[in-house]
Structure 1
Amino acid sequence: MPQYSLRFILLLPALLATLTGRAQAITGTIRDANTHEPVPYVNIGVLHKGVGTVADEQGTYRLNLAEAQPTDTVRISSLGFRPRLLRVQELRQQPAVELSPEAVVLREVKVKAKGMYKRTRTLGFRNPDASGTLNMSSNDLGTEIGSVINLSRKPTRVINANFNVAYNHSGPLTFRVNIYRLLPNGRPSQEKLLRRDVIVTSGIEKGTITVDLTPDQLILDEDFMLALEWIKGPANAKVQSQLAFVAGLGYANNDFYLRETSQASWERTSVGAYLAGMQPKISFYVTAQD
C-alpha cells in the first residue's frame, strides 16, 4: 500500500501541471456573422504578448493563454472581415466568435495602359546561392518573416512572389503570402495590400517557392513588405530549426522583419555589423513589370 501511495504522490505534480496547461488553453471556432460558415486561417493573438495562433481551414483554433492575464486584449482578424478585440476573460466565457464582413476599400492608384507594362524586372534580393540562412522566430502558427521591396518605377505591376528555401526538414508546410503597406517610418503596418488570402503548400526541401499573383492584378505605387506566414504543418513541426531561407549580404535597402506569431509586433532583425555598406538580406523577391 505505501508503494502505491508514493507513486501517486510522485505523479501528482505532473498531473496538476497537465491539468493547469489544459485549463489555460481555449478552443473555439471563428464563423462569419452573416453566413455562420467557418472562416479559415484566422489570426488570433494577445496583443504585446507574443501569444497567438492561426485557426485551421475549418475555423477551429486552440490558443494557449498560460502567459496571458484576464484583462489582456486578444485581437482576432481575417482579410475581408472587421477585426475584433476581446479581453481574455471574455474569450474564455465565449470562445465561439463571429466576425462581420467588411468592405475592402482599394487605395487609388494611377494605372498605365495595359500595353505600357513592357519591362520585366526582379525586385528584392534574388541570390539563391547566398551562403547565409534565416529561420522563423518561433514554432507557433502565425510566425512570419518578411523583406521590404523597393520599387524602381511607379506604378509597378507585381507578377509573382518568390521565396528561396535553404532547407526544409519539416515536410509539407502551408503558408500565407502577405504583402504589407509600410508606415511613414518604413516599418511594416498591419494593412495588407492583397485583397484575398494567397495560400500555398510546399514540401520543397531546397529551392524556390514561386507564387503566381497575376490573378490579383496587383498594381502598386509604393514600396511594400513581402512576407511568408506559417499557418499549417505537421503536428509538432519545429520550423524554427527545421526550416530556413537563403540569406546573404547586399547593397540594396531591403530590411527584413520577423514576428513570433499572430498579432505579435514586428521586430527588425540585425545579424551583426554591416560590411563595407552591405546589409543582411533574405532571399525574398518579386517579378514585376513597369
Structure 2
Amino acid sequence: MPASRWLMMIFVVCITSQVVNAQFTLKGMVVDAGSKKPLPYVNIGIPHKNVGVISHPDGTFTINIPEQYRNDTLTFSMVGYTSISFNINKIGQITQFELKEKISQLNPVTIAGEKLTEERIGIVKYHPIVHFTDASTNQDDIFEIAQLVRLDDKAAKVTSLSLYISEDRKDSGIFRINFYSFDGKRPGNRIFEESIVQTHAIQKGWLKFDLKKYHLYLKGDVVAAIEFIPLEKKTAPIYYEVKLGGSARSFTRPQSQGEWRVPPHHYRMFMTALVSNNRRDKHPENGDEKETLPAVRLYSSFVQDSFSIFIKVPKDYDKRKDSLYPVVYLLDANAYFDQVSDYIKRELSVAPILVGVGYADFVQNDSLRSRDYTYPVALAEDSFAISGGADKFLHFLQQELLPYVDNAYRTDTSNRTIMGHSLGGYFTTFAMEREVLKKRIYFKNFVAASPSLSYYDNYLLKQLGDIPWNTPAPPRTLYITAGGLESDSGDGAPADMKDFIRDMQARKGGAINVKTAIYPNYSHMETAVKTFQDALKWLMEGK
C-alpha cells in the first residue's frame, strides 16, 4: 500500500479560565494547520484521569478541570495527527500550537496465489431469550469499547466490523473505528492512522461498519474498537448487547485519554476479514464464545436448590502429586469464572484451585443471587422479589461444598479465599462476620469488591460494630474495594464504606487484617474484575 502523508496542523486554542466550584473551565478551538478548517472529534483530556471531552464539529471545546489537577498535563490526540501535551498551569499563556507533519509508512502487503475466504471473527450470535445490555453513557466525551482479535501471521484484509444494537433510537449515531496493537494486557498504540468516522441510524440488530474502501490489512493480535462520539445535543444512550461468560479479552474506555478497563462482560461484536484457506491457527477464542461448563450440579439441603459448581485446577496439578493447593471460591461464577480462570492461567506463578459457585444459567444467576447473598429479608424499598437467605447459603458453602471439594481435590484447608462483588461482596463480608462471631474458621481471606454495605439500612455495618474483634484467632484478611465514582465527590469510597474501614483499622490486635483499594475513576460495575485480579495477585504472590 502507498505511504500515507498527513498535513502539518496547528491546534489554535483560545483559552479562558475561571474557577467554578473548585474547577477551571477551559475553552478553545482546534483547527488544521494547512487549511485552517476546524478539526472535529479531537480527544482532549488528562491521561488516566476521569477528565476529558471531544471537540465539536466546529472545532470548539469546553473542558472543566478540577482544582486538584492543576499541575497535570492536558493531551490532545486524533488519529492521523501527532498528539500534544502541555502543563495546565501554562495554558492561559498559549494560543497556538504547531505540530510537525506525521508521516505513516505502511508496509506493502502481498497475498500470493492463495484463495481467500471471508471469515467472521468474534462473537457472532445473538440470543433473544437470554440477553444483557450495556450503553454508551458519556454525553460530553467519547465512550469506547474494544475486543481482542487474534489473526494469523499472514495479513488478512479487514472488510467490516459489526455490533449488535439492542434498541432503536430516533436520531443517528456517530462512530469512529480504531485498531490498536495489543501489549499482552491492554490495547496499545493505534496501528492504522486513518480516520474512520461513520454516521449510522440506530436500529435494533447488527450495526455494520463497512471497511472495504480502507484497504486495511492486519495480522497477529489486534484490538478492534468502536468509539461512540457524543452529539452536540443531549440524547439517549445507545444500547448494545453484551455477553456474560467466556474468556474473550474485552476492554472499555469511558473518556478521552482515559485508561482501559476490563468490563465484567464481552461485546456481541465481530470482524469480517478475507483470510487464506490455509489458516493454520484457528484461534478458538475468536469463535462464538462458549462458556465453561460446570463440573457438577450440587444439591443443597439447606437452600433446597441445586448449584452449578465450576472447577479449574492449576496446570501443574497432575504432576505435583504431593502438593496441596489453596482454594479460591468465586461467587457469580456464571459471569466471572472464565475471566478469573483465564487471568490465573496467564498471570499467576502461584496458582490456586478455582471453584466457581453459580446457577443453571445467567437468568437464574441474576434473579437468585439476591436470595442467597442477602440477610435479613430485604426492606420493601429494596424491591427484591426474594431475599434474606445468606445464612442458608453460608451453611451450604461450609457444610456441603467445602467438604465436597476437599474430598475430591488436594486442598490446603488452612488457605481458603472467598470472593464476591456488589451483593456478592456483601455476602463475603457477612460470612466473615458470622465466622468471627461464632469463632469458626472456614475461610482465611475475604474479598469484597464494592460490597453493598448499605443493604437493609446498613444492617451488616451495625452487626460488625458490635463484635469483640480482639478475640484471639488465626489472622484473617478482608480485601475490600470501591470505585471512586460510587461516592458523591467522585474521588473516594462511599461514606458508609469509609466509616467501616476507619472502624476496622482502628481496632488494634483484632482478628481481621484489612486491606483496601479505591479505584478513583471506576464505577460500581467496573470494580469487579479489577478487584479479583488485584486480590489474587496480592494473596497468591504478595504483589
**Counterpart contact for 2:139–2:231, Cα < 8 Å:** no
For residues 153 and 137 of structure 2, the distance between their equivalents in structure 1, rounded to whole angstroms, comes to 33
Shift of 1:67: 5.5
Count, aligned residues: 256
Q: Determine which of 248, 267, 270 is the counterpart of 1:285.
A: 270
For residues 38 and 123 of structure 1, the distance between their equivalents in structure 2, rounded to whole angstroms, comes to 37
Give identity over the alignment, percent.
Answer: 24
1:26-41 equivalences in 2 (<5 Å): 26-41=26-41
User: Which blocks of at least 5 consecutive residues in structure 1 are unaligned?
Assistant: 1-17, 271-279
Counterpart of 1:247, as a letter, is V
Counterpart of 1:30, as a letter, is V
For residues 258 and 223 of structure 1, the distance between their equivalents in structure 2, rounded to whole angstroms, comes to 17
For residues 71 and 146 of structure 1, the distance between their equivalents in structure 2, rounded to whole angstroms, comes to 31
1:193 alignment partner in structure 2: 191
3-state secondary structure, aligned to 2:111: coil
2:255 alignment partner in structure 1: 261
Q: Which has the higher helix share?
A: 2
Counterpart of 1:254, as a letter, is A
Does residue 1:55 correspond to 2:55, yes or no?
yes
Structure 1 residues 167, 26: closer, same or farther in 2, change over 3 A?
A: same
3-state secondary structure, aligned to 2:121: strand
1:132-211 equivalences in 2 (<5 Å): 132-136=132-136, 138-151=138-151, 154-169=154-169, 171-183=171-183, 185-189=184-188, 191-211=189-209
1:100-115 equivalences in 2 (<5 Å): 100-106=100-106, 108=107, 111-113=110-112
Give the aligned CA root-mean-square deviation in angstroms: 2.6
Counterpart of 1:144, as a letter, is E
Shift of 1:80: 2.0
Structure 1 residues 52, 170: closer, same or farther in 2, change over 3 A?
A: farther
For residues 65 and 162 of structure 2, the distance between their equivalents in structure 1, rounded to whole angstroms, comes to 35
1:80 alignment partner in structure 2: 80
Structure 1 residues 41, 153: closer, same or farther in 2, change over 3 A?
A: same
User: Which blocks of at least 5 consecutive residues in structure 2 are unaligned?
Assistant: 1-17, 276-543
1:58-73 equivalences in 2 (<5 Å): 58-66=58-66, 69-73=69-73
Structure 1 residues 146, 137: closer, same or farther in 2, change over 3 A?
A: farther
Higher Rg: 2
Shift of 1:71: 1.2
For residues 110 and 70 of structure 2, the distance between their equivalents in structure 1, rounded to whole angstroms, comes to 48
**Counterpart contact for 1:172–1:233, Cα < 8 Å:** no
TM-score when normalising by structure 2: 0.44
Structure 1 residues 161, 95: closer, same or farther in 2, change over 3 A?
A: farther
For residues 186 and 117 of structure 1, the distance between their equivalents in structure 2, rounded to whole angstroms, comes to 34
2:279 alignment partner in structure 1: none
For residues 20 and 245 of structure 1, the distance between their equivalents in structure 2, rounded to whole angstroms, comes to 36
For residues 147 and 52 of structure 2, the distance between their equivalents in structure 1, rounded to whole angstroms, comes to 22
Counterpart of 2:257, as a letter, is Q
1:236 alignment partner in structure 2: 234
For residues 202 and 241 of structure 2, the distance between their equivalents in structure 1, rounded to whole angstroms, comes to 13
For residues 119 and 40 of structure 1, the distance between their equivalents in structure 2, rounded to whole angstroms, comes to 37
* Greater RCO, 1 or 2 (C-alpha within 8 Å, sep 6+): 1
For residues 205 and 30 of structure 2, the distance between their equivalents in structure 1, rounded to whole angstroms, comes to 35
Shift of 1:210: 1.0
For residues 168 and 53 of structure 1, the distance between their equivalents in structure 2, rounded to whole angstroms, comes to 26
1:8 alignment partner in structure 2: none
Structure 1 residues 268, 127: closer, same or farther in 2, change over 3 A?
A: same
4+ runs deviating over 6 angstroms: none
Q: Which has the higher strand share?
A: 1
Does residue 1:248 correspond to 2:243, yes or no?
yes
3-state secondary structure, aligned to 1:160: strand
For residues 168 and 20 of structure 1, the distance between their equivalents in structure 2, rounded to whole angstroms, comes to 38
Structure 1 residues 116, 223: closer, same or farther in 2, change over 3 A?
A: same
For residues 93 and 254 of structure 2, the distance between their equivalents in structure 1, rounded to whole angstroms, comes to 26
